[in-house]
Structure 1
Amino acid sequence: MRYVKWAFWAVIFVILGSWLHYTLPQHDVVRIVGTYQERQDLNDWTSIFWSQPDDQAGTLVNRDVQFIQSIRTNGRPMVYRNEDTGWRWPPYFKFDTASLQTEADDLKSNAEAPKWAVVTHYGWRNELLSIFPNAVAVRPVEGPDVTIIPWFNIFFFVFLGLVTLLLWRMWAQFRERTIDPALTDAGEVWESVDARADAARDRAKGFFGRISAWLATWRAKSRK
């Protein structure tokens, strides 16, 4: 059972960690090289990785999606989709797709005269499944060596830690005040029942012992 318990918590940790990694904002320092628009099919299971505008949810099987092409500081390409999140999850409340595409167009550059930018996004990039992270903001920076401090993620994990600690303390107090006394009372009741059962068993043994002794005396008299 110990291995089952650890396996269960490992699965929960992986699921929660994956969900947080997909949802929380990430920051990439890139050089934007192009933008384009392409029609995407939304009729398979990978549609969960695409945004669903409030006025189009569940009604379209394909639509035009804007993309931002970029090169990372290590020379590897990265492509972002540029979609509104609206009022849906994750709660980025992004409604400025057109403005973001314009900002990305203004930051386009080549290797000879590079312009570096920080793209804030959420989601994953998977070429096999054609999954793209969604860009939610873009801003220029001085160079590829700029230091990005993820303040939101820091505050989020501090807040999550405080909430977890608070819930743990509440559970500990509830267990100490309610569950442990109930278990103690139940143990005492069980011990009392067990003691009564032992006493009844001893009395039964004594009664049947006296009967056996009486029968033994009669058997002895009958032999004489």
Structure 2
Amino acid sequence: MGAVELLSSVLPAPVVAVACVSDDDAGPLHPSEEPAVERAVESRRAEFTTGRSCARSALASLGAPVAAVPVGEKRAPVWPDGVVGSITHTRGFRGAAVAWRSVVRSVGIDAEAHDALPDGVLDAVSSESERAGLARLSAASPEVSWDRLLFSAKESVYKTWFPLTGRWLGFEEAELEPSPDGTFLARLLVQGPVVDGAVVSSFSGRWAVEGGILVTAIALPAR
């Protein structure tokens, strides 16, 4: 399974995904994107540039204007009018996903190296009940880095939440329940946003692992 196929596997059909595994073919940044990395080290600049190249390719495939995707509030990407999207990058993987807002209200993706979290990180990003659930999953399916999956899924939760609210969401404000079947449920522990006239109290997502890369994604459909 290639990078695009891996990312597409966790997203519904209305969402267009583009991904790559190197920075070799990244195009130049738009002037409005430059300020985000003007003082960055070369590795950070490379991953940012490739992420924006993936985003422009995804916009083109969607049929949307291939515009700049500058960094906005709280470092969230700023998409063309009528488009929702998300960008991710980690060691050996860069990707972007976009959709029409009329079909998908918000999308969040995250990619991580598929290995255990550094010591102490899990305690900082999870509750006692979440850790108990991960222990059960690890006993049944030790081949999956469940702690990394929880971290990644919460990143996808935040990326989905922020465009709907414009507010921060802490790791402790969503309770995650991953499942071995490639899905996860994130219950919001704070007041959720009103979308299409209804309060959103949880997000459903998908996850997959291939070639040492773990990806998670959420796409909130229009009602």
Indicate whether the TM-score tops 0.5.
no
- Normalized per residue, the structure richer in strand is 2
- Normalized per residue, the structure richer in helix is 1
TM-score relative to the length of structure 1: 0.21
Q: Which has the higher contact order (CA 8 A, sep 6+)?
A: 2
- Rg larger in structure: 1
TM-score relative to the length of structure 2: 0.21
